[in-house]
Structure 1
């Protein structure tokens, strides 16, 4: 008698299977477990077992309530960027089965960090994960009527604009905020926050037109297009970058430079840019009008000739014809000149980066023939004075000054030895 009674209880009362879809629907409509059970006339403990996924995924599948989301199909009424209610039910069931976060993420087509954040945010008691409660908690956080940090803090906003006016990047600005407001974490920003403010994607804390404060000068994000460059032939007796000593690529030794031109309107005027690979120091000057190769030779010798020999070991250049007289530069300075491969700007990455920074001062299409040398020096000095992440937030000027000190001590030691 007892065994038959236990079997009958295990099967549950008649009609319970039909009520489970109704219970799920009531919970989705926002009813509490007790209210839904009262409407359906079932025991609240039964509702709790359904709510917490005690019977596992297979039991739901058999009843036509498959909680497993289909991959690449966004949740109904929401974005696939966020977890759906069905996904949260699936997470609860898999957790009760003892599955790992990696396996749950793999089944859902999500990142394991997404599952980890979900449990950290929406499981306040750190014990059992309740999917419907987690869904409600997520929905309460979803609306964003709150004021953005830059919009609600005048002092913070003015400081950000001040730094951007110096042509600092958003990353440099956010680094400076930690020093400007130490101990005030609510004023520390991610650089994406600054980008969004400037692009007017969601907040408008910065005056209209302020996207010009970005180096790109763009008002919105656009995919980059790759232009076709006509390959150039190597000049006679030129050293290829493949012939350059391998240790130069490590940037541990000072005195190795990269160079290029930024061209003005109609390619009739230009500014020469030189970057020291170790310190990222930028040396720039306007190329005088006339014979480009002759002026390039003379001005390069003037710019690098004032430095110690240990700080002008090599120069890596683009394949431009302005360096046709590179052999004369080598003869005058002892600086070996290497040329990059065709269409390979990444082989002069530091120089390409510096060109982009300088373009913030001298825009593409501008006539550079009217630019004074003092203007170019001012721009270079301002760039060199910025804190750089690649230099552990030291400026290029400070880093190169230490290299000059080391070079001077080396020269003195050599002269004393003689």
Structure 2
């Protein structure tokens, strides 16, 4: 037989725990099992408890009778609880306790548990724990969480992306969620966490201040007859139709380079191996080789900067049966998707490094890592997933 506990019984349980009793002892007092008590406690917001088995209680119970001056005290929260269960409006409850209705509204919305019920003792204890200074640090002793963050940072994930993916994978476990600011603090501030010390290096792109472009030195531009970005069809701009790419070069030391191509709707990335040079002939051959594997409907257009490396654009258009569009001079933001991808790629290909040391297999591995990386712009799907869906649909 399944026991159905009244709201009064659950309220008594929370009052007992918040007064210092253990979850087990409080559950027994109201006739519930330890497992039921733990479920109730999880729904209330997972406040800190001492890991002391049946005798453990709150790690930091609120002092009695109430909090500091302008904060709500336990008696006021008790009136809010009573008003809520009596069906009173926020305005009426506020009038009874002499507060503004917005105070009551924020209090109820902030401290209502997953079961949809407001408990005064729980709200009061949570408010007390939230005011504690210094706050306990999640990344000091949680080795499992630190290891997971370390694995993702080794693959070039940003603290912001890690925070979002923790919330996605552990939606029901607050202990495995952490903000990106907490990760940054653990990396840069001593005694703020237990992440590996070398992980701070994973954040640095070693990017210096951007240098303004020099005046246009290419008066005899090979792109006078080429299509301009303003002539691209509207379907490219809104990303509604796949198969439109943006491209550019990542430049290293001694004139070394790697070509990058990004599909606008999926963010799928292709890297071009340019071991000897990045002349127009070399870049054209690499683009034709790599993009030739794609089906026709996934190579509708390519947008590129006005570098001389694409002077043989006619050859590329003919071989790939596509159209090339060129950005306005000194306007890299017109290839925003590619610019952002190149920024991510600097995790593996640092500025000022010799890019010729990377083999074609190295480039394939890096592209695979980037294409398996969840993207917030894709609702945390991966570029590889999105492209695979398009290929399956076409098949």
Report if TM-score (shorter chain) is over 0.5. yes
1:185 aligns with 2:174: yes
What is the aligned partner in structure 2 of residue 317 from structure 1?
304
Q: 1:217: Cα distance to partner?
A: 5.9
Does the aligned pair in 1 maintain the 2:248–2:260 contact within 8 Å? yes
Does the aligned pair in 2 maintain the 1:215–1:359 contact within 8 Å? no
What is the aligned partner in structure 1 of residue 155 from structure 2?
166
* TM-score computed with the length of structure 1 as normaliser: 0.61
What is the aligned partner in structure 1 of residue 136 from structure 2?
147
* TM-score computed with the length of structure 2 as normaliser: 0.64
What is the DSSP-based 3-state SS (H/G/I as helix, E as strand, rest coil) of the residue aligned with 2:156? coil
What is the DSSP-based 3-state SS (H/G/I as helix, E as strand, rest coil) of the residue aligned with 2:330? coil
Q: What number of residue pairs does the alignment pair up?
A: 285
1:259 aligns with 2:247: yes
2-structure distance, mates of 1:196, 1:206: 10
User: Bigger CA drift: 308-317 or 190-199?
Assistant: 190-199
2-structure distance, mates of 1:321, 1:312: 22
1-structure distance, mates of 2:344, 2:249: 13
Q: Which of these residues, 340, 343, 364, is aligned with residue 330 of structure 2? A: 343
Unaligned runs of 5+ in 2: 1-97, 111-117, 119-125
1-structure distance, mates of 2:205, 2:213: 21
2-structure distance, mates of 1:327, 1:364: 31
Q: 1:182: Cα distance to partner?
A: 4.7
Max radius of gyration: which structure? Answer: 1
2-structure distance, mates of 1:337, 1:171: 34
Q: 1:200: Cα distance to partner?
A: 2.2
Decide whether aligned partners of structure 1 residues 351 and 321 sit closer, same or farther in structure 2, where only a CA change above 3 A counts: same
Q: 1:229: Cα distance to partner?
A: 1.2
What is the aligned partner in structure 2 of residue 221 from structure 1?
none
Q: Which of these residues, 236, 249, 274, is aligned with residue 248 of structure 1? A: 236
1-structure distance, mates of 2:330, 2:296: 31
Q: 1:210: Cα distance to partner?
A: 1.9
Decide whether aligned partners of structure 1 residues 229 and 306 sit closer, same or farther in structure 2, where only a CA change above 3 A counts: same
What is the aligned partner in structure 2 of residue 214 from structure 1?
203
Q: Which of these residues, 190, 214, 220, is aligned with residue 230 of structure 1? A: 214
What is the aligned partner in structure 2 of residue 53 from structure 1?
none
What is the aligned partner in structure 1 of residue 63 from structure 2?
none
Does the aligned pair in 1 maintain the 2:206–2:351 contact within 8 Å? no
